[in-house]
Amino acid sequence: MSVNKALDQFLPSEKTRPATIHKAMRYSLFAGGKRMRPAVCLAAAAACGGSEKDAMPLACAVECIHTYSLVHDDLPAMDNDDYRRGKLTNHKVFGEGIAVLAGDALLTQAFEIAAKSKGWPRYSHQQIILELAHTSGSLQLIAGQVADLEGEGKKTSVEQLRYIHERKTSALLCCSVRLGGMSANCSSAQLKALTDFGYSVGLAFQVIDDILDVTQTSEQLGKTAGKDTKAQKATYPSIVGLEKSRKIAAQLTAKAFASLKIFKGKAEALEGLAEFLLKRDR
Ligand code: GRG
């Protein structure tokens, strides 16, 4: 897959000193993730008439941020998980100290890779970096994680759950789609359509993740199933039930499709990904 090849080229080799940290970064990055964020980034670029080559650094940057968030989320101080992507979690293999650093290094690596992108007439490096920083920061990804940690074991409303899902999941998916568009020097109308698409698809993705947590086995998911219920975490199925959750996921996906009208059939790859996300089983 071209994303794997590009990530391999962007990252220091396993043998680069200090070898442990590069091994740890690569261990989680190449552990078999679905690469959904790079996929939507490249698909958004295609919808706007851009090239894979121009979008690739940004697609790789979002995957590095995503992987960092998983490595840190799995730590004992956070979600405390032993399995991710069907393999032992980073800290189980390398120890907690190296896992913290591997996450830090992946986050930093994302900005280095993004800074290597070419920059576009409508979207400067400054805007690209701002987009990534805002999404990873205390108002989005980290805000979602904080709200999630603080909400454990407490009664959560659907509004509060949506706040968490928007930040923990939808924000990075939305950012991936937007960056794809920016790499194709998209118009502001196209960027607005991509933002709407990314938001809805991102939320649908998390609702489906909540559903899979209760309907699939750990083997199917490659991570511990049923964790949300065990941790008394609020999820869509626990608040509104399984059937209503499925309905919400389908409605969000339909909304995502509707946002793509402006591309007049040129967003086939994005449509295919939205369909795949709705029907996925892991
Ligand atoms: C900043 C530590 C920190 C966390 C931010 C992203 C996040 C919040 C926590 C990670 C755990 C989690 C359940 C996030 C929700 C998003 C999600 C469903 C991630 C899993 O994404 P997939 O299914 O994973 O695309 P793969 O392994 O396929 O890449």
For residue 103, what are the contacts with CB-CB under 8 A and spacing of at least 6? Answer: 68, 69, 71, 72, 90
Pocket-testing residue among 168, 211, 213, ligand 1, by greatest number of atoms within 8 A of Cβ: 168
What is the Å distance from ligand 1's center to 66 Cα? 6
Give how many domains the chain has, as a whole number.
1
* pLDDT for 1: 66
With tokens 């805000």, the residue in question is: 143
CB atoms within 10 A of CB 138: 11
Instruction: Give the pLDDT band of residue 265 (cuts 50, 70, 90).
Output: confident
With tokens 């009664």, the residue in question is: 155
What is the Å distance from ligand 1's center to 264 Cα? 32
- Residue 230, pLDDT > 90, answer no
pLDDT, one tens digit per residue, over 173-185 is 999 999 999 999 9
Helix axes 52-73, 19-29, angle to 10 degrees: 100
| CATH at 98 | 1.10.600.10
- pTM of structure: 0.95
What is the 8-class DSSP label of residue 75? S
For residue 246, what are the contacts with CB-CB under 8 A and spacing of at least 6? Answer: 211
Instruction: Give the pLDDT band of residue 152 (cuts 50, 70, 90).
Output: confident
Whole-angstrom CA distances from 231 to 79, 80, 91, 152 are: 9, 11, 20, 7
Pocket of ligand 1 (CB under 6 A): 33-34, 36, 69-70, 72-73, 85, 141-142, 144-145, 168-169, 206, 209
Q: Which domain holds residue 103?
A: 2-279
Give the helix, strand, coil percentages of the chain, each rounded to 5.
70, 0, 25
Which is the closest atom of ligand 1 to the Cα of 165? 15
What is the 8-class DSSP label of residue 235? -
- Runs of H (alpha helix) within 11-95: 19-29, 36-47, 52-73, 90-94
- Residue 255, pLDDT > 90, answer yes
- Residue 204, pLDDT > 80, answer yes
pLDDT, one tens digit per residue, over 64-93 is 999 999 999 999 999 999 999 889 999 999
